[in-house]
Amino acid sequence: MTDFSYQLYSSRNFGPLEDTLRMVADLGYAAVEAFGGIFADLSDPAALRATLDDCGLKMPTGHFGFEMVRDQPGRVRDIAEAMGMSAVIVPAVGPDLRVQSAGGWRSFGKALAEAGKPLQEAGLAFGWHNHAFEFADIEGEDTPLDLILAGDPSLLWEVDAAWVVKGGEDPAKWIAKYADRIIAAHVKDIAPEGEAMDEDGWADVGYGTMDWRALMAQLRTTPCLHFVVEHDNPSDDRRFARRSIEAARAL
């Protein structure tokens, strides 16, 4: 049976972090993936690790902002080691950087790869997590995602298939294209058009339009190690976490 992780961003608007950790552990998740806001304010990594251990949870992957990775690689490494992570993922850039030329994206890919070198030297895998802007039309045949991953062959990819769909693309095509670079996947769902508008159009896993049975079968043929359940804006995080892991296990 596949072990599923829970992206803590899904519960950012709800109870204290410790309550969230205990909730997802009780529901049967084996791991969590923290987001940059948690790490930016983290004063005591050992205490968070102790809470994870007490809940029986692991944190094999974590999202860190590009600027933190670039400017504070030692702090990122120390947090990752304290949590027992094997991979550090940069999840996005700010809105002001999401509209660039091909040359800008090519330069960013190189800067991303350079920023990750100290982490790779410490034995951590390092990569990028997509949203929709990486599939925008720019000059030339390559997309921003192509140009980012071209920064270095060692850059890995945490594929968010639902955001690929939001970007107007077929996730199966992109999973096939970069199969050997995939280290993790976000398992999330999109509500039918016009539904769940109070949740920004996202759905609990298994209750939307994504063909997760086919996608999971494809991802299992890649090196993907981590399957991270996420919802960007649930109105009830416990409902989302419970229904999603039930559906994910059935895959």
Domains in the chain (CATH in brackets) are: 4-249 (3.20.20.150)
State yes or no: pLDDT of 1 exceeds 80: no
Give the pLDDT band of residue 156 (cuts 50, 70, 90). Answer: very high
Instruction: Specify the amino acid at residue 134.
Output: E
Give the pLDDT band of residue 98 (cuts 50, 70, 90). Answer: confident
